[in-house]
């Protein structure tokens, strides 16, 4: 074959490749209209669910996609249509007088809201974050042929059980069954499912019997530029009017039973009995506030334990930064643990109970940071050990703080992890 003939063959091959892959390449880089369907709002970041929703929306916007959120209207919302940092959020009304009216209003109003939006916007993909709003959208024939991806943070019916411990009434049992049925329906309607941990994947396999090939593990990430280490923890404590001398522990959680906060408060006297000066700051809101305050009073810990209430994102960074250790005392259903990443990114080592996805985060880094169990005794033992280990070795502690930050930079940078979500949204 002559050189001229080889050139002809070469150009033909190039033309075939362009024809075959060109459409796929263009499709991959074409901006999408993405609808995020959620039961929470990006307006106010109250917990992990809101953070994941918000960070995903911001990332997709940066990638050039158009991002819209469909969620229920909360008491804190003053309008049903709002743009928050470029994210267009639409809200529908619900009736919260009782579970039946709540479900009925969701089934009626969520689809109605969707129809109003979709009359102006053609969506390329729908990304569900929670099951209830998803139910209304999945009942629509208009959404049947739109690609759907479900991000499962945790199992709704299990969360409900954990918030209502010990209940056995028919109403409670019916509510659990209904939640489980709705969640399974929404999961089965999705083309692909994203979970943040192997722990949650196992839950889907055993509780909902979802096909394994539909489930993709994409660990969450955080904005490492927002959460960064302090130059001087002691100076920051003085700025926050916090005693700079004692061992300083911090946690931020919804004040509900599964978070293990009662055990954490009961841990403090045990640490003090070992001759360790210690103070604990607890951020967050929830139904257990009064109970936790009573425990603090009964144990005479008013000078050592403080309930800080809701902490804004700006102040939250400072609390992460100023602590010697962040404590994660969860006793059940820790699907991932975004606060663990935030604390470590802020240069603060985390001591945590060996529950759920936390083991997958801390285990590969340092299993020695995991408590043996959820008991106050085991928590006190490890806190005392770490205090003794680093009290007289400041440089070693600083090295640990540097290592936890580097670990997050390497494994949990949000942009890196969000690319996995984007790829699944784009998949055909």
6 pLDDT more than 80: no
What H or E segment, with its residue span, contains residue 259?
Answer: none
Q: Which residue has the higher pLDDT, 5 or 63?
A: 63
Shared domain check, 325 and 273: yes
Distance CA 298, CA 279 (A): 17
- Burial of 284 by CB count in 10 Å (0-12 exposed, 13-18 middle, 19+ buried)? buried
Shared domain check, 419 and 404: no
Shared domain check, 334 and 302: yes
Shared domain check, 196 and 159: yes
Residue 5: inside a domain: no
Dump pLDDT digits (tens) for 257-274.
999 999 999 999 999 999
Question: Under a CB-based contact definition with an 8 Å cutoff, are residues 259 and 327 in contact?
Answer: no
Give every strand in the sheet of 147-152, ordered side by side. 81-84, 87-92, 66-72, 33-37, 125-128, 147-152, 192-195, 215-217
Shared domain check, 247 and 182: no
Dump pLDDT digits (tens) for 130-185.
999 999 999 999 999 999 999 999 999 998 888 888 888 988 898 899 999 999 99
pTM: 0.86
Shared domain check, 183 and 38: yes
Question: Under a CB-based contact definition with an 8 Å cutoff, are residues 414 and 221 in contact?
Answer: yes
What integer pLDDT is reported at residue 2 of this predicted model? 65
Residue 63: inside a domain: yes
* 311: helix, strand or coil: coil
What integer pLDDT is reported at residue 18 of this predicted model? 45
Residue 45: inside a domain: yes
Residue 396: inside a domain: yes
- Give the pLDDT mean for 85-99: 93
Shared domain check, 124 and 104: yes
Shared domain check, 400 and 419: no
Dump pLDDT digits (tens) for 217-244.
999 888 999 999 999 999 999 999 999 9
Shared domain check, 206 and 64: yes
20 pLDDT more than 80: no
What integer pLDDT is reported at residue 17 of this predicted model? 47
CA dihedral (137, 141, 142, 146) in degrees, to 10, reads 80
Shared domain check, 249 and 115: no
Residue 228: inside a domain: no
- Give the pLDDT mean for 25-41: 80
Question: Under a CB-based contact definition with an 8 Å cutoff, are residues 135 and 111 in contact?
Answer: no
With bands split at pLDDT 50, 70 and 90, how would you rate the model's confidence at 293? very high
Distance CA 12, CA 57 (A): 42
Q: Which residue has the higher pLDDT, 16 or 96?
A: 96
With bands split at pLDDT 50, 70 and 90, how would you rate the model's confidence at 408? very high
Report the percentage of the chain scoring pLDDT > 90. Answer: 80
Residue 208: inside a domain: yes
65: domain CATH number?
3.40.50.2000
Question: Which residues constitute the domain of residue 98?
Answer: 28-221+414-426
Shared domain check, 317 and 406: yes
């Amino acid at each position: 074959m002559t050189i001229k003939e080889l050139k002809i063959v070469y150009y033909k091959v190039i033309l075939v490749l362009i024809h075959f892959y060109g459409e796929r390449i263009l499709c991959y880089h074409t901006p999408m209209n993405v609808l995020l369907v959620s039961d929470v709002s990006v307006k106010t970041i109250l917990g992990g669910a809101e953070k994941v929703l918000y960070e995903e929306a911001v990332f997709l916007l940066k990638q050039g996609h158009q991002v819209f959120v469909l969620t229920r209207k909360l008491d804190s919302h003053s309008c049903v249509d709002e743009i928050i940092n470029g994210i267009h959020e639409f809200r529908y009304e619900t009736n919260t007088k009782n579970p039946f009216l709540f479900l009925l209003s969701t089934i009626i109003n969520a689809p109605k809201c969707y129809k109003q939006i979709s009359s102006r916007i053609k969506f390329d993909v729908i990304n569900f974050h929670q099951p209830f709003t998803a139910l209304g959208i999945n009942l629509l024939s208009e959404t049947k042929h739109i690609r759907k991806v479900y991000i499962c943070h945790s199992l709704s019916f299990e969360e409900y059980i954990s918030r209502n411990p010990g209940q056995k009434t028919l109403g409670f049992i019916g509510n659990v069954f209904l939640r489980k049925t709705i969640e399974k329906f929404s999961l089965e309607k999705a083309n692909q499912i994203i979970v943040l941990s192997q722990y949650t994947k196992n839950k889907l396999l055993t509780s909902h019997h979802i096909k394994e090939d539909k489930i993709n593990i994409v660990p969450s990430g955080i904005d490492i530029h927002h959460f960064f280490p302090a130059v001087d923890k002691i100076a920051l404590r003085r700025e926050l009017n916090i005693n700079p001398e004692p061992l300083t522990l911090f946690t931020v959680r919804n004040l509900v039973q599964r978070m293990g906060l009662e055990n954490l408060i009961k841990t403090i006297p045990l640490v003090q009995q070992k001759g360790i000066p210690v103070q604990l700051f607890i951020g967050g809101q929830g139904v257990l506030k009064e109970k936790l305050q009573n425990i603090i009073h009964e144990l005479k810990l008013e000078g050592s334990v403080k309930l800080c209430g809701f902490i804004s994102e700006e102040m939250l960074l400072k609390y992460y930064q100023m602590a010697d250790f962040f404590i994660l005392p969860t006793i059940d259903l820790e699907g991932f643990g975004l606060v663990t990443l935030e604390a470590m990114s802020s240069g603060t080592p985390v001591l945590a109970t060996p529950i759920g996805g936390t083991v997958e985060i801390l285990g590969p880094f340092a299993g020695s940071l995991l408590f043996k169990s959820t008991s106050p005794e085991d928590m006190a033992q490890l806190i005392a050990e770490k205090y003794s280990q680093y009290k007289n070795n400041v440089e070693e502690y600083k090295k640990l703080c540097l290592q936890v930050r580097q670990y997050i930079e390497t494994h949990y940078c949000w942009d890196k992890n969000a690319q996995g979500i984007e790829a699944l949204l784009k998949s055909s």
